[in-house]
């Protein structure tokens, strides 16, 4: 991402709106409870039905065996129509094993039997088995009608689940609207209160509930924030006045001393250095005040003239350092910004190039909408390139050089304020190429 661009928002785990989450919670709760109730109801129905059927079959097989032993010569009747009874004496056990092998292997008890008839339709029945050494008794209870009823019951339960899920959705939508209404009203009032210098009291518009407590906390925060902003503005005004006054005195005194003819060249050079330092301090104070107020100043600044002044100031401070400072490119680039802001931004880039280049060239190249500062210094390490614009960071080549590592941080803040772009990359062979673009299109600016 180019320098000066707005930072991307960090992704969050909760991407849905609170209203949607409330509705979804009601929907899932209603559907889950209804499904649980349907499963429990179906389980209870099946269990009760099985117990009733098994109780009926146990009583009937006992009665059927009693009647059989009372008159073994004839087949006794069964009281329940759905039950078919079979009795086999000992001489017919082999026939049962041949014709009904699945019955013959079963011990005493009640079993669920399923199958498909000759027409291909499924059937189901419960089989009660009672075996004695003299006779085997089988009672078959037809469960086909019960299966049909079970399917109808399950279909009814599915309909109930769908209906109650829809009701849960409606209730969730209604509840979310009721819950979020005061929150939305609070957000709307908070947006409208930001249009005036004084914060509007929000707590009076809401009852003493959670939203009211939130509004009260926001009122307290807005009051404290207003006091902080007020103190900050007063501090900025005081600093602007208290620092500019002695700087103006220094400037006037230096200009007066420079007009005297009896000043020797050595003293004159020192006075000129004081004059440049005074101008640098004035420009830096103006730029910092713009940053603190977050206000864009306006002006028509000739970038080439600012670059020449900065190069002249650094030439006077080389003190025999084998370094050539020169400017290339066409003039004519004018920026809508105060001269102090352009001077501080470009001056930090040129100052770093001069500081870290022991010998060779520092070239200020003027482009149609940007300025490049190219040096022949030691270059950039990957760590420097990643952290160069962090406040307080000093590069690996800083060693014992002076500076607090805030110069490029100020450049970055000025770029954010004015919509400029700055990029510092290693040179083709060695050194560093710093590009300050005054265009809104960063790609063309740093080309």
Segments making up each domain of the chain, as ranges: 21-151, 196-295, 298-445
pLDDT bin (cut points 50, 70, 90) of residue 394 is low
Indicate the range of 21-30, 194-203, 351-360 predicted with least confidence: 194-203
Q: Decide if domain 196-295 falls under CATH 1.10.287.
A: yes
- Which structure tokens are listed for 96? 């049962």
DSSP state of 74: S
Residue 432 β-bridge partners: 426
Helix or strand or coil: residue 186?
A: helix
More confident residue, 9 or 337: 337
Q: Compute CA 249 distance to the chain's CA centroid, rounded to the nearest angstrom.
A: 53
Sheet with strand 135-142: strands edge to edge: 83-89, 135-142, 122-131, 109-116
* CB neighbour burial string for 308-330, b if at least 16 within 10 angstroms, e if fewer: ebbbebbeeeeeeeebebebebe
Alpha-carbon distance of 423 to 134, in angstroms, equals 104
Query: What's the confidence (pLDDT) of residue 66?
Result: 84
- The mean per-residue pLDDT over the stretch 73-82 comes to 65
Alpha-carbon distance of 388 to 372, in angstroms, equals 17
Helix or strand or coil: residue 429?
A: coil
DSSP class per residue in 42-57: HHHHHHHHHHHHHHHH
More confident residue, 10 or 88: 88
Nearest CA to 186 out of 11, 18, 24 is that of 18
pLDDT bin (cut points 50, 70, 90) of residue 245 is confident
* Alpha-carbon distances, residue 171 vs 27, 32, 164 (angstroms): 9, 15, 10
DSSP state of 90: G
Helices (H) and strands (E) in the chain, counts: 11, 11
pLDDT bin (cut points 50, 70, 90) of residue 274 is confident
Alpha-carbon distance of 408 to 413, in angstroms, equals 9
> How many beta carbons lie within 10 A of that of residue 385, not counting itself?
14
Nearest CA to 436 out of 379, 315, 352 is that of 352
Asked if domains 196-295 and 298-445 share a fold, the reply is no
- Which structure tokens are listed for 299? 């002006």
- CA 40, 41, 46, 51 dihedral sign is positive
pLDDT bin (cut points 50, 70, 90) of residue 195 is low
pLDDT bin (cut points 50, 70, 90) of residue 382 is confident
Greatest CA separation for the chain:
155
- The mean per-residue pLDDT over the stretch 162-178 comes to 90
Cβ contact 325:314 at 8 Å: yes
Indicate the range of 224-238, 245-259, 358-372 predicted with least confidence: 224-238
Query: Hey, what CATH topology would domain 21-151 get?
Result: Beta-Lactamase (3.30.450)
| 63-74 pLDDT tens trace | 888 888 877 766
Cβ contact 366:327 at 8 Å: yes
**Statement: residue 403 has pLDDT above 70:** no
pTM for the whole structure: 0.52
- The mean per-residue pLDDT over the stretch 250-261 comes to 83
**Statement: residue 6 has pLDDT above 60:** no
Q: How many CA atoms within 13 Å lie on the side-chain side of 389?
A: 18
Q: What phi and psi, each to the nearest 5 degrees, are found at residue 351?
A: -65, -40
Alpha-carbon distance of 114 to 245, in angstroms, equals 105
**Statement: residue 5 has pLDDT above 60:** no
pLDDT bin (cut points 50, 70, 90) of residue 373 is very high
More confident residue, 128 or 294: 128
Q: Give percent of the chain with pLDDT exceeding 70.
A: 87
- The mean per-residue pLDDT over the stretch 293-316 comes to 86
More confident residue, 354 or 398: 354
Query: What's the confidence (pLDDT) of residue 162?
Result: 92
Alpha-carbon distance of 128 to 112, in angstroms, equals 9
Query: What's the confidence (pLDDT) of residue 446?
Result: 35
| 125-160 pLDDT tens trace | 888 999 888 888 888 888 877 878 888 988 999 999
Helices 265-293, 407-418: inter-axial angle, 10-degree rounding: 50
Q: Give percent of the chain with pLDDT exceeding 90.
A: 13
- The mean per-residue pLDDT over the stretch 406-427 comes to 86
Query: What's the confidence (pLDDT) of residue 170?
Result: 92
pLDDT bin (cut points 50, 70, 90) of residue 39 is very high
Query: What's the confidence (pLDDT) of residue 358?
Result: 86
| 200-209 pLDDT tens trace | 787 778 888 8
Query: What's the confidence (pLDDT) of residue 444?
Result: 35
pLDDT bin (cut points 50, 70, 90) of residue 163 is very high
User: Counting Cβ atoms within 10 Å, is residue 61 exposed (0-12), middle (13-18) or buried (19+)?
Assistant: buried
Query: Hey, what CATH topology would domain 298-445 get?
Result: Heat Shock Protein 90 (3.30.565)
Residue with tokens 């003190």: 319
């Amino acid at each position: 991402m180019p320098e000066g661009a707005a930072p991307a928002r960090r992704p969050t785990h909760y991407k849905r709106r609170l209203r949607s989450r409330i509705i979804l919670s009601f929907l899932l709760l209603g559907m889950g409870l209804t499904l649980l109730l349907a499963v429990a109801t179906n389980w209870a129905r099946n269990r009760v039905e099985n117990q009733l059927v098994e109780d009926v079959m146990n009583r009937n097989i006992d009665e059927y065996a009693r009647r059989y032993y009372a008159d073994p010569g004839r087949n006794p009747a069964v009281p329940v129509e759905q039950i078919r009874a079979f009795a086999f004496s000992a001489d017919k056990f082999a026939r049962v094993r041949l014709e009904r092998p699945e019955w013959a292997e079963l011990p005493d008890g009640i079993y669920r039997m399923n199958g498909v008839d000759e027409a291909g339709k499924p059937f189901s029945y419960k089989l009660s088995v009672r075996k004695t050494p003299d006779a085997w008794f089988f009672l078959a209870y037809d469960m086909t009608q019960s299966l049909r009823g079970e399917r109808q019951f399950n279909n009814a339960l599915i309909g109930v689940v769908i209906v109650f899920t829809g009701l849960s959705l409606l209730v969730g939508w209604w509840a979310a609207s009721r819950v979020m209404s005061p929150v939305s009203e609070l957000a709307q009032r908070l947006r409208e209160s930001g249009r005036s210098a004084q914060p509007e009291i929000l707590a009076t518009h809401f009852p003493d509930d959670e939203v009211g407590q939130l509004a009260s906390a926001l009122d307290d925060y807005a009051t404290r924030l207003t006091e902080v902003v007020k103190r900050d503005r007063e501090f900025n005004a005081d600093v602007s006045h208290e620092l500019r006054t002695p700087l103006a005195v220094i400037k006037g005194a230096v200009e007066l001393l420079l007009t005297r003819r009896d000043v020797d060249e050595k003293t004159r050079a020192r006075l000129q250095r004081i004059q440049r330092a005074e101008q640098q301090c004035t420009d830096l104070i103006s730029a910092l005040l713009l940053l603190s107020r977050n206000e864009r100043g306006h002006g028509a600044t000739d970038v080439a003239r600012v670059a020449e002044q900065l190069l002249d100031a650094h030439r006077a401070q080389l003190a025999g350092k084998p370094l050539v400072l020169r400017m290339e490119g066409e003039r004519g680039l004018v920026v809508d910004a105060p001269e102090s802001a352009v001077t501080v931004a470009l001056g930090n880039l040129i100052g770093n190039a001069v500081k870290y280049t022991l010998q060779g060239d520092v070239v200020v190249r003027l482009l149609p909408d940007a300025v490049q500062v190219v040096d022949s210094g030691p270059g950039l390490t990957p760590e420097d390139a990643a952290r160069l614009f962090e406040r307080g960071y000093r590069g690996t080549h800083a060693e014992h050089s002076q500076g607090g590592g805030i110069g490029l941080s100020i450049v970055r803040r000025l770029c954010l304020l004015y919509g400029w772009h700055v990029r510092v990359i290693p040179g083709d062979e060695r050194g560093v190429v710093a590009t300050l673009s005054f265009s809104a299109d960063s790609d063309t600016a740093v080309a």
